[in-house]
Amino acid sequence: MKAVLDGIRVLDLSQFFSGPWCGMLLADMGAEVIKVEPSPIGDYIRVGTLFEKGLAPLYTVFNRNKKSITLNLKKSEKAREIFKQLVIKSDVVLTNALPGDLESINLGYEDLKKVNPQIIFAAISGFGRSGLEEFIKQPAFDIVAQATGGVLDTLKMYEMPKIPFADINAGTYCALGIMQALFFRERTGKGQFIDISMQDIMFAYNILAHISHTLRDEIEQSFSRILPLYNVFKTKDGYVTIVVITEKQWHRICDVMENPDLKRDRRYNSPLKRWKRGEEVDTILSTWTQTKTNAEIVALMNKNRIPGGPVIPFDEVQEHPQLLAREMSRDVELPEVGKSVKLPGIIIRLSESPGKIIDPHGPALGQHTIKILSEILKYSSEEIDQLRKKGVI
């Protein structure tokens, strides 16, 4: 059974996290993703690691299922010529380089569409390729996008964020944009440029805060409270989440707490009233949850069809039976460091054209250089030797 992107070739020039995450999603769905790296270092994440030897776990998961070719694009005109030869035989170019960097060596979109008018050029950057020049060329990493997109302030997180929301979302939206562009090309025969701004994505990600800020005088309460009863509550042995939206769910939670009078209490007999008195409702729930264990509350929630679940400690979540059953939490061996690490499996599940993890490890630097040059571009062994001697590859 063929994967959905079987036959699509992607030239992945990106480094670090956002672009490689996009390439990983495409590779999982069957695309041939060729990671184009400079020698002798390659993607900086190869060396910017806590491990003294072998591949870093982050490099492994972000670059699984990919091939690697070394081309010294900045220093060698011949390397740029080879890259353009690959562009002719490819569908997508992916980059998260600073705007202007590829253009300065004649490998920007306008240059590449001359050799392949159907090429799709996907570019992730901190602030996008249009708008104010002072921002377009400003370097940015995940933390910068979260900060300038308003996310860190909304979360009151004035320290290093523990989850790379901007990088992961930029890569995911870029993959979505590439799929849209491939669909458009199928209908029209035209390639196009995809402009992904990490700040844009964080701004959009923060939509509830925008609504709350705009309507702060009308709604009397912050939209940080998304729903009337939507919170985390302390229990005897941990924490649980509980969500109550509808009147049926409110009546059920009142019965579960053995407090039927609450159902008739006019202070709480509508979602709006419960939302406005959110702190009072939370106190009622919290008083009850602290008399129960996580397991007792989750059992009651499930039995009465009330959304909720335990807050699972990180050292336990990797062994969650549902994640294991779906092969989402997977053991990947790192032989160079003598350990295995839990890494995520296929995220998007398609019934007729499922993705696969053929190689769970990222490729070694330049692992497929000879294969790509000989099989795709038909270079001879002698020609490849000359390229190596001249520092092209």
- Residue among 350, 330, 328 nearest 340 (CA): 330
State both tokens at 384. Answer: 């490849």
Say whether domain 9-206+363-389 belongs to CATH 3.40.640.10. no
Specify the 3-state DSSP secondary structure of 67.
strand
Can you name the CATH fold of 229-315?
formyl-coa transferase, domain 3 (3.30.1540)
Residue 217 confidence (pLDDT): 61
For the chain, the domains span 9-206+363-389, 229-315
Rounded average pLDDT over 98-119: 98
Give 162: exposed, middle or buried? Use CB within 10 Å, 0-12, 13-18, 19+: exposed
Confidence of residue 228 (pLDDT cuts 50, 70, 90): confident
Tell me the pLDDT tens digit for each residue of 209-223: 888 777 666 555 555
- pTM for the full predicted model: 0.92
What's the gap between Cα 329 and its chain centre? 16
Tell me the pLDDT tens digit for each residue of 310-355: 999 998 999 999 999 999 999 998 776 778 889 999 999 999 999 9
C-alpha to C-alpha distance for 231 and 205, rounded to whole angstroms:
20
Tell me the pLDDT tens digit for each residue of 229-280: 999 999 999 999 999 999 999 999 999 999 999 999 999 999 989 988 999 9
C-alpha to C-alpha distance for 18 and 188, rounded to whole angstroms:
29
